[in-house]
């Protein structure tokens, strides 16, 4: 009775970030060919080697086929009408906050991300990416004092070409997959971070990605390098306006950890997910991979995936260095008609390498949620260990949950443990909590938060509250 009503009343106000910002855009041709790729490179005033990198990737892409092995169905993006580059008209490279287009500044305020350093969350430096361009990076000076470079990838191409040349494409080669190739050809902007030897980054770094322009795709590129004995924690947040058409987001993220270095990468993904009927919403097709190149290095991925119409995403770790550690903590929530196929790959190459996978999938509405994970222990990886736990929770009767674990071991000393559970949020659980005075929505929120506690505690503290709230909003009235 009350349940469906509650569901209906929540639908209208569910997505709070669906507004658009009125900004003028530079003209840019639609579709893609070598000239478009050159033009992007030219717009960004890139050196020859960068243009070559893009062209090579483009040529590779033209020979590749769009993948279809995942558990999702959708209408393929129309590459010939898509706009591959979109930049607000106002001078994009800014040194002071006063120069930021006031409309864009307001957008970030509305999203709860003040760019004004005074007002920032204590100890979090922010890089704001609006459509294809990095708008502003806060706390740059303070970071520079510690020797940490945190800037947009476009700036890095100009100012730190040796680093970019050395590492870009070294973890995710342009030919890696269809969308990585496309990204390598047309990537617009993103964040770059370099933490030198023996340095602990003095604050959380974060990037907020915002897609505003209806017809543009967003292709951002992030590269993080942690030198020996360094440590960095990075968080990305994503939102987009509500449009009836699907928009493509195809990012590439590369992480490199050298000896004894540690990178913690967290994502709160809340792209617009489309309406009840599956109209609109973002296609989130990203390639995220980290390389534990050094001994004793560690890379942790933590993700809270709540948005997008379709998500295909497998943040992975290549454990090359002996004793290196890879972690993947994930909460993926799907509601309405969302489809998520997400998981991780842990590739053990070094000796005594260790990986942990904790995945929590929550499906509601008429959504489909799949975990897909690969654990591979190569021949030389003596004493490699993996522990995987994949739990699915179903809310209501019309959603689906699936688990696809792939295990491959070429070394008899390897140890792989896999546990999986599926549970349903039952009417009885909700009634029990309601009998104790808790409203239906709060009951679901309690149950879901309890279910993902292990993962949520991995998020940086500054964002934990936000994450809890987001989960609550996402699932309000979802018992039908």
Which residue number, 3 or 466, has a Cβ lying nearer to other proteins?
3
Residue 48 CB coordination number (10 Å)? 8
Residue 436 makes contact with other proteins by CB under 8 A: yes
Residue 447 makes contact with other proteins by CB under 8 A: yes
Q: How far apart (Å, rounded) are the C-alpha atoms in residues 425 and 361? A: 13
Q: Which listed range, 165-173, 180-188, 198-206, 426-434, lies at the site for other proteins (CB under 8 A)?
A: 426-434
Residue 383 class from Cβ within 10 Å (0-12 exposed, 13-18 middle, 19+ buried)?
middle
In this structure, what DSSP letter does residue 199 have? Answer: -
Interface residue with other proteins among 19, 49, 406, 432 (CB under 8 A) is: 432
Residue 45 makes contact with other proteins by CB under 8 A: no
Residue 469 makes contact with other proteins by CB under 8 A: no
Per rule CB under 8 A, count of chain residues that contact other proteins = 26
Which residue number, 417 or 427, has a Cβ lying nearer to other proteins?
427
Q: How far is the CB of 457 from other proteins (least distance, A)?
A: 12
Contact 262, 225 (CB under 8 A): no
Interface residue with other proteins among 2, 4, 33, 398 (CB under 8 A) is: 2
Could you tell me the two tokens for 471? 């989960």
Q: Which listed range, 12-20, 209-217, 335-343, 450-458, lies at the site for other proteins (CB under 8 A)?
A: 450-458
Residue 438 makes contact with other proteins by CB under 8 A: yes
Residue 397 makes contact with other proteins by CB under 8 A: no
> 374 phi and psi, to 5 degrees?
-125, 135
Q: How far apart (Å, rounded) are the C-alpha atoms in residues 304 and 237? A: 10
Which positions ≥6 away from 312 have C-beta within 8 Å? Answer: 70, 72, 284, 285, 286, 341, 342
Residue 442 makes contact with other proteins by CB under 8 A: yes
Transcribe 65-98 into DSSP letters.
Answer: -----SS---PPP-TTT-B----BSS-S--SSGG
**H helix and E strand count, the chain:** 11, 21
Could you tell me the two tokens for 328? 């993947």
Residue 389 makes contact with other proteins by CB under 8 A: no
Interface residue with other proteins among 446, 462, 473, 480 (CB under 8 A) is: 446
Q: How far is the CB of 391 from other proteins (least distance, A)?
A: 10
Q: Which listed range, 156-164, 173-181, 304-312, 435-443, lies at the site for other proteins (CB under 8 A)?
A: 435-443
Binding residues for other proteins, per CB under 8 A?
1-3, 423, 426-429, 431-440, 442, 446-447, 449-453
């Amino acid at each position: 009775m009350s349940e469906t009503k509650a569901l209906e009343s929540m639908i209208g106000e569910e997505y709070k970030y669906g507004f658009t910002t009125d900004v003028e855009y530079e003209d840019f041709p639609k579709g893609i060919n070598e000239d478009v790729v050159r033009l992007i490179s030219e717009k960004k005033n890139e050196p020859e080697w960068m243009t070559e990198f893009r062209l090579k990737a483009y040529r590779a892409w033209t020979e590749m086929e769009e993948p279809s092995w995942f558990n999702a169905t959708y209408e393929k993006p129309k590459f010939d009408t898509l706009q591959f580059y979109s930049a607000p008209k106002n001078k994009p490279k800014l040194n002071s906050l006063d120069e930021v287009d006031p409309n864009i500044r307001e957008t970030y305020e509305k999203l709860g991300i003040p760019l004004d350093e005074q007002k920032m969350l204590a100890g979090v430096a922010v890089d704001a990416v609006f459509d294809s361009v990095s708008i502003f990076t806060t706390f740059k000076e303070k970071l520079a004092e510690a020797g940490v470079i945190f800037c947009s990838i476009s700036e890095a191409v100009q100012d730190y070409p040796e680093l970019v040349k050395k590492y870009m494409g070294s973890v995710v080669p342009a030919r890696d997959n269809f969308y990585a190739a496309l990204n390598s050809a047309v990537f617009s902007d993103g964040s770059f971070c370099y933490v030198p030897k023996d340095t602990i980054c003095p604050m959380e770094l974060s990037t907020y990605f915002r897609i505003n322009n209806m017809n543009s795709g967003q292709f951002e590129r992030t590269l993080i390098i942690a030198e020996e004995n360094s440590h960095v924690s990075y968080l990305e947040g994503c939102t987009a306006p509500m449009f009836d058409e699907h928009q493509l987001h195809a990012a590439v993220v590369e992480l490199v950890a050298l000896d004894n270095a540690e990178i913690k990468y967290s994502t709160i993904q809340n792209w617009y997910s489309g309406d009840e009927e599956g109209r609109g919403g973002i296609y989130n097709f990203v390639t995220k991979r980290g390389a534990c190149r050094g001994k004793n290095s560690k890379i942790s991925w933590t993700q809270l995936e709540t948005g997008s119409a379709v998500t295909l995403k497998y943040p992975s770790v290549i454990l090359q260095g002996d004793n290196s550690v890879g972690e993947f903590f994930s909460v993926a929530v799907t509601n309405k008609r969302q489809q998520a196929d997400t998981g991780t790959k842990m590739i053990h190459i070094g000796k005594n390498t260790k990986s942990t996978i904790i995945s929590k999938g929550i499906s509601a509405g008429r959504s489909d949620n799949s975990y897909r994970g690969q654990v591979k222990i190569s021949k030389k990886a003596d004493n490699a260990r993996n522990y995987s736990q994949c739990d699915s929770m179903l809310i209501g009767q019309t959603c689906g949950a699936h688990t696809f674990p792939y295990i491959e071991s070429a070394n008899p000393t390897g140890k792989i443990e896999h546990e999986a559970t599926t549970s349903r949020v039952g009417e009885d659980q909700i009634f029990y909590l309601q009998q104790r005075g808790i409203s239906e929505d709060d009951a679901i929120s309690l149950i879901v938060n309890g279910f993902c506690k292990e993962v949520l505690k991995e998020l940086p503290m500054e964002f934990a509250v936000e994450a809890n709230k987001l989960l609550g909003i996402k699932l309000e009235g979802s018992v039908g």
